[in-house]
């Protein structure tokens, strides 16, 4: 009679032999790839525009990163500009304006992460609790709408709302006998206004992802909770939130990866020299250095530093998430 260990070993050997038999010979790997391309050409054809977009707009511009290490001149070009190594980075870190921009970016992103990230989750949970279908559709449409409005119009609305002469905010303050305040020239008010505007503009649209995750929760879990006497608040805490936790972690990793990418358009439309101390971020510093001052090499160095910090942050967040929650992007 055969031993179980012998049977198990024989089975494993048979599986390995079958897998090896399915693999094409090393010399036929190219023909195998060509065969798959011919067989699934429609799929690869649909994928081609995305690959081309990545190559043209993301990978090809990487050639210009060497500007950050050169004394770049638009007349000499990238290849003929002289190599100066890390001099631009040394100048950046000794530049008080750049250091201030880095700290402002971190502070704004941290506040946005603290207040802006939970907003769409809370909104999705609130929508999920609405029982009136008509009211739910109307309210969702209202909160989704700001996302589709141009940042220029959003900035115009904010400037008008906080205007010291005709703004609704100062009008309300006037009802209480308070003097009008020009909020957008006060450095201490820029961050609350910017973060509040971002929440108003993006929270509704961001809640779609979490609503989709909530829709995927197994209904039998709620039915069992009702049988056990749980109320809606308990079901939300014990079923809904734990069920969408993987989605929350994935979105958090993406958000951390974009922590250095503060909404550039809205900031540059709202800030002014009077609020540089709290409003100037790395992206606006890059814009001034590159487009206004013509220091393309310095701007490229700042942009490369920004990208490296974002890369380290997303790698760290992904590793920690995979270790502690077993949820990650890769």
pLDDT tens, N- to C-terminus, the chain (330 residues) = 444 444 444 555 554 555 555 555 555 677 888 888 888 888 888 989 999 999 998 888 888 888 889 988 888 888 888 899 889 899 999 999 999 999 999 999 999 999 999 999 999 999 998 888 899 999 999 999 999 999 999 999 999 999 988 889 999 988 988 888 899 999 999 999 999 999 999 999 999 999 999 999 998 998 899 898 888 889 999 999 999 998 998 898 888 888 888 878 899 999 888 999 999 999 899 888 887 888 888 888 998 898 888 888 888 888 888 887 777 777
Judge contact between 68 and 301, C-beta under 8 A: yes
> Cα 93 to the chain's mean position, in Å?
26
Going along the chain, which residue ranges are E strands? 70-71, 82-83
| pLDDT for residue 7 | 43
- Domains along the sequence of the chain with CATH: 4-80 (no CATH), 95-324 (1.10.3720.10)
Task: For residues 290 and 51, give the distance between their C-alpha atoms in angstroms, rounded to a whole number.
Answer: 29
| pLDDT for residue 11 | 57
pTM of whole model > 0.85? no
Residues making up the chain, counted from first to last: 330
The SS3 call for residue 58 is helix
Burial of 294 from C-beta contacts in 10 A (0-12 / 13-18 / 19+): exposed
**Cα within 13 Å of Cα(38), Cβ side:** 6
Tokens of residue 58, six digits? 């993301």
Mutual angle of helices 187-215 and 151-161, in 10-degree steps: 130
Task: For residues 61 and 51, give the distance between their C-alpha atoms in angstroms, rounded to a whole number.
Answer: 15
Phi, psi of 71 (to 5 degrees): -85, 80
Tokens of residue 227, six digits? 């049988």
| pLDDT for residue 273 | 87
Task: For residues 203 and 145, give the distance between their C-alpha atoms in angstroms, rounded to a whole number.
Answer: 10
């Amino acid at each position: 009679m055969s031993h179980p260990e012998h049977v198990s070993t024989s089975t494993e050997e048979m599986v390995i032999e079958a897998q090896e038999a399915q693999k094409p010979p090393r010399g036929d790997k190219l023909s195998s790839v060509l065969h798959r391309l011919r067989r699934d050409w429609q799929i690869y054809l649909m994928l081609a525009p995305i690959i081309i977009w990545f190559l043209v707009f993301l990978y090809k511009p990487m050639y210009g990163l060497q500007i950050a290490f050169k004394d770049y001149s638009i007349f000499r070009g990238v290849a003929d500009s002289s190599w100066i190594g890390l001099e631009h980075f040394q100048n950046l870190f000794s530049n008080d304006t750049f250091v201030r921009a880095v700290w402002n970016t971190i502070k704004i992103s941290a506040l946005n992460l603290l207040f802006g990230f939970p907003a769409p989750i809370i909104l999705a949970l609130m929508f999920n609790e609405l029982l009136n279908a008509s009211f739910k559709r109307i309210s969702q449409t209202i909160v989704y709408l700001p996302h589709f409005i141009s940042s220029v119009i959003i900035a115009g609305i904010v400037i008008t709302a906080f205007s010291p002469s005709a703004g609704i905010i100062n009008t309300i303050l006037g009802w209480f006998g308070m003097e009008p305040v020009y909020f957008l020239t006060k450095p201490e008010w820029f961050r609350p206004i910017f973060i509040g505007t971002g929440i108003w503009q993006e929270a509704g649209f961001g809640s779609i992802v979490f609503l989709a995750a909530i829709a995927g929760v197994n209904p039998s879990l709620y039915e069992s909770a009702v049988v056990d006497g749980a109320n809606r608040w308990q079901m939300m805490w014990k079923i809904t939130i734990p069920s969408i936790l993987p989605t929350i972690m994935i979105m958090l990793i993406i958000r951390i990866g974009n922590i250095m990418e503060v909404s550039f358009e809205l900031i540059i439309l709202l800030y002014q020299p009077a609020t540089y101390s709290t409003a100037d971020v790395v992206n606006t510093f890059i814009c001034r250095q590159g487009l206004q001052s013509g220091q393309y090499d310095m701007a490229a160095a700042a942009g490369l530093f920004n990208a490296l910090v974002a890369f380290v942050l997303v790698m760290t967040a992904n590793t920690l998430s995979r270790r502690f929650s077993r949820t990650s992007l890769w």
